[in-house]
Chain A
Amino acid sequence: MSDTQAALRISLNGEQRTIASGQTVATLLTDLGLDRRKVAVERNEAIVSRSAYETTAIEHGDQFEIVHFIGGG
């Protein structure tokens, strides 16, 4: 395994996960099977805009919230 395969611990919607390093928000969403047009991403309480998914590298300890619209009143 190269260094880029080292594991990172992140929080994803409140769950602790271990992922390979070298990922971006774009690759994370793809791995999760999510349609990026229908979700929004917050990283450490700051919005990650769609245009920044490819360039936003995931770092150890990052806290992500990934949300979508559901029925509500």
Chain B
Amino acid sequence: MDGFTQQQEDTWTVAGRTFRSRLVVGTGKYKDLEETAAAIEASGAEMVTVAVRRVNLSDPGAPMLQDYVDPKRYTYLPNTAGCHTANDAVRTLRLAREAGGWNLVKLEVLGPPPHLYPDMAATHEAAEALIKDGFEVMVYCADDPVAAKRLEDMGCVAVMPLGAPIGSGLGIQNPAMISMLIEQAKVPVLVDAGVGTASDAARAMELGCDAVLLNSAIANATHPVQMARAMKAAIEAGRLARLAGRMPRRIGADPSSPLAGLIR
């Protein structure tokens, strides 16, 4: 049989949960909840990130995300976006755990605009507090193999380095560091942030990431649902290329047609 058939059961596992889709998508920045639902459906994602915010008490009957993105169908991964201290992150995710009833979370503690670069000192502090409180922490981090290793050693269940700043769409700016991080990791590695278009997602998978997390690349596309399909295809293509083992790079040409048997 060909490799594709053999790889049909290609899955990845984080904190004991197994997924077929290697695309994790955010649910922010969409025009409305209908578009959110359609794009997520088209992406084939099985895990989605969500934010935790105050209910609008002046409009309690407003439609909620769960009405459009069913938590029974998708694994919700609550995030800590907007939290700048370990205490805020822990409070936010305790609320998320109560609202949703699960422990798997995405920790992100960010520095200020315009870079929103991961604040690794605060991230380590928050990760420690969350792990102590029983959370399974997938952690957004710098493309810093030393910091990522420390997070893994602390007990984080996945490390998620950025490919470029959040929402920048600049693509994978750091393939060498991502590769080194993957090389040493014993937990899943996801590129989280920076993907701008399908080729960026494919690139991340070719580097050997277990999965890719993205939001803006779909939500901010001119046609989000179409881009969601593109991302699904790109993730699959990149993963297959990784498994297939790309040809070596070489300086100079190597003809594809045999030189023997040329007419004279």
Contacts and interface: CB of A to CB of B under 8 A. Distances in A.
- Do A and B pair up? The answer is yes
Contacts of B76: 69
A40 B52 CA distance: 10
A69 B57 contact: no
B65 A40 contact: no
A28 B55 CA distance: 14
A33 B64 CA distance: 13
A33 B57 CA distance: 9
Given A40-B95, A70-B27, A72-B215, 8 more contacts: A41-B98, A42-B91, A69-B64, A71-B27, A71-B29, A72-B26, A72-B51, A73-B167
Contact of A68 (B33, B55, B166): B55
Interface of A: 12-15, 32-35, 38-42, 45, 47, 49-50, 65-73
Given A40-B96, A69-B96, A33 B61 contact: yes
A35 B19 CA distance: 30
Interface in B102-135: none
B79 interface: yes
25 contacts: A13-B55, A15-B57, A32-B57, A38-B64, A39-B55, A39-B99, A40-B96, A40-B98, A42-B95, A49-B98, A65-B54, A66-B55, A67-B52, A67-B54, A67-B95, A67-B99, A69-B51, A69-B52, A69-B66, A70-B50, A70-B52, A70-B53, A71-B27, A71-B65, A73-B167
Given A38-B99, A42-B95, A47-B95, A72 B55 contact: no
Interface of B: 26-30, 33, 36, 49-55, 57, 60-61, 64-66, 76, 78-79, 81, 91, 94-100, 166-167, 215-216
Contact of A69 (B26, B30, B65, B81): B65
Of the listed residues B29, B64, B91, B95, the one surrounded by the most CB atoms of chain A closer than 10 A to its CB is B95
B10 to A, nearest CB: 26
B161 to A, nearest CB: 15
A49 B166 CA distance: 34
B49 to A, nearest CB: 6
Contacts of B64: 35, 38, 68-70
A39 to B, nearest CB: 6
Contacts, number: 101
B18 to A, nearest CB: 23
Contacts of A15: 57
A66 B54 contact: yes
Given A67-B52, A67-B55, A68-B53, A73 B166 contact: yes
Contact of B60 (A33, A49, A70, A71): A33
Given A15-B57, A67-B52, A67-B53, A73 B95 contact: no
B50 A47 contact: no
